[in-house]
């Protein structure tokens, strides 16, 4: 393909050539893979539908003249050479889903990146930097090792994580083995070349961009996540013969703490959730003798999380409960230079935008271990995600894709 005399100038002019109709057609085509009537997407990690979706993405990359391979974790890695010997710029997201998921979560980021490549190729533009297009495997928490693909790609996956359960009922390691993946190779994986920056376009999955309506969110960072196990001990006994005044019901003891989690979250301006309650012995005719609550809090500021954690610890101790730490992820701030590039892209395209944190985890938080990262959000109608009725307007999907392309071009000139 003949290169233009002034590729960077023509690259900026090519923003108008971004093919939004093809992006939406791609979303429809990919969204049909693994969709079940009334049940949404069933593209859980390494399922038949998940593998078929990633093979479809790989074929689209190859059709655009990209080198496209599957790495040890099943990540689809597309490659375009640059005109100079520079670290690569990377775009991407994921195409696996939760059970009953929607067609936009993750997929928009992968297909918008593909649309960027399509525009560059159609306009004869070659970037200075090599370009990687990444479709990460197993981003959703359907395996104990998730986000498995980006952890493996960044060399941070541990062998121990593979021993935990996966959606199919067996271990994550067993699922991978059944699908022909070598767990040792997953742990020893690494990126194919040095990276200068990573950009991820994603639906917001919340409602911050809806009031007031704002087409583009510039992500300030990905929140820290802290999880705890809070255990209440009582006395199991017969539910029919034990008078109420004699009972030591562990669930009754736990009940006030459940609302305390909400109160602490509100007081500290964060989010707090009890997502699981384990009641033992767990029979309708037995008074609960042992209850464990799985508690989670999230925020961008460690200092705020520290204060909320102390408040929860004090409340648990006052209730006679034991609170122990579980899973913990540090807040991951986005790179200010990349955020500024996204903001410049929004100004260039005359798109209103605002800064906001990501309350959900993404592959970008793992990519931060390799290179600077930033994320672009577009609105989710009704703040709904991880559900069949997840939806983002076509105009806002296309706007997000155009911002992604404009940011890529900006970074190619200046990083």
Give the residue ranges of the chain where pLDDT is below 50: 1-9
Burial class (CB in 10 A: 0-12, 13-18, 19+), 269: exposed
* Alpha-helical runs (H) found in 133-198: 148-153, 172-178, 183-187
Quickly list H helices, 39-139.
48-63, 107-122
How many domains does the chain contain in total? Answer: 2
Same domain? 196 vs 337: yes
Structure tokens at 352: 């209103």
- Position 252 scores a pLDDT of 98
Is 92 in the same domain as 128? Answer: yes
Is residue 1 domain-resident?
A: no
Identify the pLDDT of residue 2: 39
Q: How far is CA 146 from the centre of its chain?
A: 10
Say which CATH number the domain at 384 has. Answer: 3.40.630.10
In tens, the pLDDT along 68-125 reads 999 999 999 999 999 999 999 999 999 999 999 999 999 999 999 999 999 999 999 9
Question: What pLDDT was estimated at residue 7?
Answer: 47
Q: How far is 166 from 142, CA to CA, in rounded Å? A: 6
| In a shared domain, residues 109 and 150 | yes
Both tokens assigned to 161: 């994580």
Q: Based on the fold, state whether residues 296 and 354 are members of the same structural domain.
A: no
Residues 192 and 341 occupy one common structural domain: yes
Question: Over the stretch 176-205, which tens digit does the pLDDT of each residue have?
Answer: 999 999 999 999 999 999 999 999 999 999
Query: Same structural domain for residues 211 and 167?
Result: yes
pLDDT value at position 5?
45
pLDDT score, position 4: 43
Residues 320 and 347 in one domain: no
Q: Containing domain of residue 103, as a range?
A: 7-222+332-414
Instruction: Please say whether the beta carbons of 119 and 405 come within 8 A.
Output: yes
On whether the CB atoms of residues 200 and 375 are closer than 8 A, the answer is yes
DSSP letter string, 394-411: HHHHHHHHHHHHHHHHHH
Instruction: Supply the pLDDT for residue 9.
Output: 46
Nearest to 58 by CA among 123, 109, 133, 121: 133
- Whether residue 103 lies inside any domain: the answer is yes
For residues 380 and 232, membership in a common domain is answered with no
């Amino acid at each position: 393909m003949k290169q233009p005399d002034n590729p960077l100038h023509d690259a900026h002019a090519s923003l108008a050539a971004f093919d939004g109709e093809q992006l939406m057609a791609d979303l429809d085509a990919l969204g049909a893979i693994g969709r079940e009537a009334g049940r949404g997407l069933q593209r859980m990690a390494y399922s038949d539908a998940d593998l078929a979706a990633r093979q479809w993405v790989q074929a689209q990359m190859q059709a655009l003249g990209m080198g496209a391979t599957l790495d040890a974790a099943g990540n689809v890695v597309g490659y375009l050479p640059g005109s100079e010997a520079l670290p690569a710029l990377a775009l991407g997201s994921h195409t696996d889903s939760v059970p009953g998921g929607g067609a936009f979560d993750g997929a928009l980021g992968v297909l918008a990146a593909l649309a960027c490549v399509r525009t560059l190729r159609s306009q004869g533009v070659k970037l200075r930097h090599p370009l990687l297009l990444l479709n990460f495997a197993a981003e959703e928490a359907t395996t104990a090792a998730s986000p498995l693909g980006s952890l493996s790609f960044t060399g941070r996956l541990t062998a121990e994580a593979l021993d935990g359960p996966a959606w199919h009922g067996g271990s994550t390691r067993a699922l991978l083995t059944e699908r022909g993946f070598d767990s040792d190779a997953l742990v020893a994986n690494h990126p194919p070349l040095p990276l200068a920056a990573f950009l991820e376009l994603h639906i917001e999955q919340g409602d911050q961009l809806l009031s007031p309506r704002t087409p583009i969110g510039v992500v300030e960072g990905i929140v820290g996540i802290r999880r705890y196990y809070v255990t209440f001990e009582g006395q199991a006994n017969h539910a029919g013969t034990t008078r109420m005044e004699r009972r030591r019901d562990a669930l009754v003891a736990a009940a006030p703490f459940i609302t305390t989690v909400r109160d602490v979250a509100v007081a500290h301006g964060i989010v707090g959730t009890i997502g699981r309650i384990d009641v033992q012995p767990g029979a309708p005719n037995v008074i609960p003798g042992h209850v464990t609550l799985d508690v989670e809090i999230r925020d961008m500021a460690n200092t705020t999380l520290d204060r909320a954690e102390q408040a929860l610890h004090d409340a648990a101790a006052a209730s006679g409960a034991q609170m122990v730490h579980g899973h913990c992820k540090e807040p991951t701030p986005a790179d200010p230079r990349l955020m500024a590039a996204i903001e410049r892209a929004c100004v260039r395209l005359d798109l209103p935008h605002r800064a906001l944190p990501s309350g959900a985890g993404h592959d970008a938080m793992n990519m931060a271990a390799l290179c600077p990262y930033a994320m672009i959000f577009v609105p989710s109608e009704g703040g709904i995600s991880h559900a069949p009725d997840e939806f983002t307007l076509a105009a806002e999907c296309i706007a997000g894709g155009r911002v992604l392309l404009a940011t890529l071009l900006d970074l190619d000139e200046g990083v």
